């Protein structure tokens, strides 16, 4: 894990994304590539006015000011964070050993830019707003489906540590295997690993699969335990959160959960629920 893309929207959540990214970067001497994508001014005007020929100067000034403010806020958040944590802030394509950061500012569609640039990095780290209904939940889903890289999402508030105790929400599916592979640099450094096996229907054999994964993970230096959840097939996301909280895990690793292939293509309901409400950092792949 050597390069980490950190999209910064210029909101109050930027510091959380930077903090979580640095927790991932420091153990590996990784580079944090901060990215801000400004909205296109002309497209923003058309979108807000429906193509009306007359647009007030006041509206134009407000939109332009908001675009500038968000870019300046994101850049200042990065500079302040790097100064506080003694992290070198490099020019865009510079390379040097050890943990470092860089700044990139583009104009366009944020999701498209994050997806395109994110594919060139090992992982994408973003932060969730405190409002579960905020647009970021939908944004995360589209990035996960399109990017092909793991997405690590910070909750609105971070605990003291991240990655010491990792919970793995497990089913024997390609999506969960992919998530575990993506998380392995973090999992391999954990002090404790909890495998959470949540059946989606009676008799699906998830208990045996959880134990089998735990047996494989015993080769790592961490303490490994399994938590089999047999309650509430229709509230899997709540069960995963409850079990992770009960185990005192500080991160959850999740592959796509869903009952049918069609649902998996659009992200399963469990994944969508966790994107909105997971209380600890959530690493997701699709």
For the stretch 178-233, pLDDT in tens is 999 999 999 999 999 999 987 766 655 566 888 999 999 999 999 999 887 765 55
Averaged pLDDT, 145-163: 93
Q: Which residue has the higher pLDDT, 165 or 41?
A: 165
Sign, Cα dihedral of 15, 17, 18, 23: positive
Averaged pLDDT, 139-164: 92
Full DSSP string of 129-188:
-S-TTSTHHHHHHHHHHHH-S-EEEE-SS--S-SSSEEEEEE-SSHHHHHHHHHHHHHHT
Above 80 in pLDDT, residue 67?
yes
What is residue 230's predicted lDDT score, i.e. its pLDDT? 62
What is residue 272's predicted lDDT score, i.e. its pLDDT? 81
What is residue 232's predicted lDDT score, i.e. its pLDDT? 52
The CA distance from 284 to 149, in Å, is 9
What is residue 259's predicted lDDT score, i.e. its pLDDT? 44
What is residue 56's predicted lDDT score, i.e. its pLDDT? 81
Averaged pLDDT, 245-251: 95
Residues 6+ apart with CB under 8 A from 33: 3, 4, 5, 6, 101, 102, 104, 117, 121
Averaged pLDDT, 68-92: 96
The CA distance from 168 to 286, in Å, is 15
Residue 195: name the closest of 224, 216, 223, 220 by CA: 224
Above 70 in pLDDT, residue 49?
no
How sure is the predictor about 52, in pLDDT bands with cuts at 50, 70 and 90? Answer: low
Q: Which domains does the chain have, with CATH numbers?
A: 3-154 (3.40.50.620), 165-284 (3.40.50.620)
Query: pTM of the full predicted structure?
Result: 0.89
Using CA atoms, how far residue 119 sits from 116, 123, 126, 146, 148, in Å, is: 6, 8, 15, 9, 7
Averaged pLDDT, 155-182: 92
How sure is the predictor about 136, in pLDDT bands with cuts at 50, 70 and 90? Answer: low
Mean residue pLDDT of the chain comes to 87
Task: Tell me if 169 sits within 8 A of 177, measured CB to CB.
Answer: no
Sign, Cα dihedral of 134, 139, 145, 147: negative
The CA distance from 64 to 42, in Å, is 10
Most confident stretch, 51-65, 67-81, 264-278: 67-81
What is residue 231's predicted lDDT score, i.e. its pLDDT? 56
Q: Provide the percentage of residues in the chain whose pLDDT is more than 90.
A: 60
């Amino acid at each position: 894990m050597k390069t980490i893309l950190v999209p910064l929207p210029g909101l109050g959540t930027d510091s959380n994304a930077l903090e979580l990214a640095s927790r991932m970067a420091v153990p590996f001497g990784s580079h944090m590539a901060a990215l801000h994508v400004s909205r296109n001014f002309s497209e923003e005007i058309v979108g807000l006015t429906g193509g009306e020929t007359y647009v007030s100067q006041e509206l134009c000034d407000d939109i332009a000011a908001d675009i500038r403010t968000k870019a300046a806020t994101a850049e200042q958040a990065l500079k302040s964070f790097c100064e506080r944590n003694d992290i070198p802030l490099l020019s865009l394509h510079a390379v040097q050993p050890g943990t470092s950061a860089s700044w990139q500012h583009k104009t366009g569609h944020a999701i498209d830019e994050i997806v395109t640039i994110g594919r060139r990095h090992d992982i994408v780290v973003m932060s969730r707003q405190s409002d579960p209904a905020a647009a970021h939940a939908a944004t995360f889903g589209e990035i996960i489906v399109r990017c092909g890289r793991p997405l690590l999402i910070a909750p609105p508030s971070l605990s003291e540590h991240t990655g010491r105790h990792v919970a793995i929400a497990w089913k024997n599916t390609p999506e969960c295997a992919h998530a575990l592979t993506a998380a392995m640099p973090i999992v391999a450094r954990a002090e404790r690993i909890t495998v959470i096996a949540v059946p989606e229907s009676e008799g699906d054999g998830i208990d045996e699969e959880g134990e089998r994964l735990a047996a494989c993970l015993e080769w790592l230096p961490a303490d490994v335990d399994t938590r089999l959840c047999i309650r509430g097939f229709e509230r899997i996301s709540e069960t995963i959160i409850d079990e992770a909280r009960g185990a005192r895990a500080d991160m959850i690793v999740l592959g796509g959960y869903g009952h049918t292939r069609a649902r998996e293509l659009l992200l399963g309901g469990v994944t969508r629920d966790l994107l909105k409400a997971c209380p600890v950092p959530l690493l997701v792949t699709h």
